[in-house]
Amino acid sequence: MGTLEDINDKKGIALFSGGLDSSIAARIILEQKIKVIAVTFKTPFTAVDWALRMGKALGIELRVIERYDDYMNIVKNPKFGYGKNMNPCIDCKIFMLKKAKELMEKEGADFVFTGEVLGQRPMSQQREQLKLIEKESGLEGYLLRPLSAKLLEPTIPEIEGTVDREKLLGIKGRGRKEQIALAKKLGLTDFATPAGGCLLTDPEFSERLGDALKHGEEDIELLKLGRHFRTESGAKIVVGRNKEENRRIRELAREGDKTVEIIDFPGPTVLLRNGNNEDTEIAASLALRYSDCKEDRAKATMDGVTIEAKRGIEGRVNPIGRPVLRDKTETQVR
C-alpha cells in the first residue's frame, strides 16, 4: 500500500494502535488528503509491533512514546476506576490523549483523532464516557472519531471544513463486520486482531498484578512469565515453562532472589523471592514437580549449592492466575 498523493497542509494527530479500527480511521483521514502523524504508546502492558507495521503500510509518520512511572501511577490509582479487570480504560485514554494534545500543539496540527467506535466497549466508548474523555483530555471540540462521527456532535474541524463530515462514518456497536468489510475495500488486509492487546484486560494477568501490588512488588516483566505461586509467608515463586522463560527468569532475578533447578533432568528454572527456609523447600518441590524426573526425591541446585528436592511440599502454596497467553502483548490499545 503506497502513500496518498497531494497531501494538503492540514494535519491530524492519530492515536494509533495498528489495529483494525485505528488503521481504518487513519486511512479515512488520509483519503481526505490530510497529513497524519500517528502516536502510539509503549507501556509495561502494551507493545508497538503492529503500530510500527501498519504505520509503515499506510505511509504515515509514527511517533512512539514510552511511559512507565506516570503510567503505573494511573494503573495503581485510576480516578475513574477499573473495568472488569485491572484495566483503567477511561484514565488510560485520557492520559494518552493528553500526550496527543501536546503533540498537536507542538506540530501545529488541526485536531486529534482515534479509532473509537460508539458503543463498542462498555466502559470507555459509551456516549457519556466519550464526552467525559474529550473534556478531561482538554480536547473539547478537537477530538474526532471518524468511524462514529455521524452519530456524534460535529467537531470544530468538521464545522470549519478541515474535515469533510460527509466522508466520515456512522458505525455503532460491538460487532466489527462493517469494519472488516471496509478494511478490505480500502486495501487494509494485514492488521492486528480485533481482540484487545492490553494485558490489563487479561483476567489472569490482572490477578497476578493485583497480587504483586498488594505485596509491594512491581516487576511487570516477571508477571508475564511462567507459573506464579504465593507461599503462606508471602514469598513469591515463579516456575518457568520452557527454555526461553527459564533464561528470562534468570535474567530478571534480583539481588537476594534464589533460583532452583533439578540436577540431571530437564525442567524449569524456579525463582524464589523473599523466601525463608520452608519456602526454599517448596521452591525445590515445585522444580521437581514440573521436571522430567519421576522419582519422589532428587538433587537440585540452588544458586550453585546442592540441596534435596522432594514431592508433596508444593501443596502449601497458592497459584496466582493461570499462565498468561503470550500473544496478548502483540497488539496495542486502540
Distance (Å, whole) CA 64 – CA 67: 10
Q: Could you give all domains of the chain from N- to C-terminal order, each with its CATH number?
A: 11-198 (3.40.50.620), 202-319 (no CATH)
Give ∠ CA 4-6-10 in degrees, rounded to 5: 95
- The strand pair at 11-15 and 111-113 is best described as parallel
pLDDT tens digits along 32-76: 999 999 999 999 999 899 999 999 999 999 999 999 999 999 999
* CB contact set of 94 (below 8 Å; sequence gap of 6+): 133, 136, 137
131-183 residue pLDDT tens = 999 999 999 999 999 999 999 999 999 999 999 999 999 999 988 899 999 98
pLDDT of residue 196: 54
Q: DSSP for 27-47, please give it.
A: HHHHHTT-EEEEEEEEBTTB-
pTM of the shown model: 0.86
- What does the pLDDT read at residue 194? 55
pLDDT in the model for residue 329: 38
196/208 Cα distance (integer angstroms): 18
pLDDT tens digits, residue range 194-248? 555 789 999 999 999 999 999 999 999 999 999 999 999 999 999 999 999 999 9
Q: Which of 56, 89, 59, 63 is nearest to 75 (CA)?
A: 89
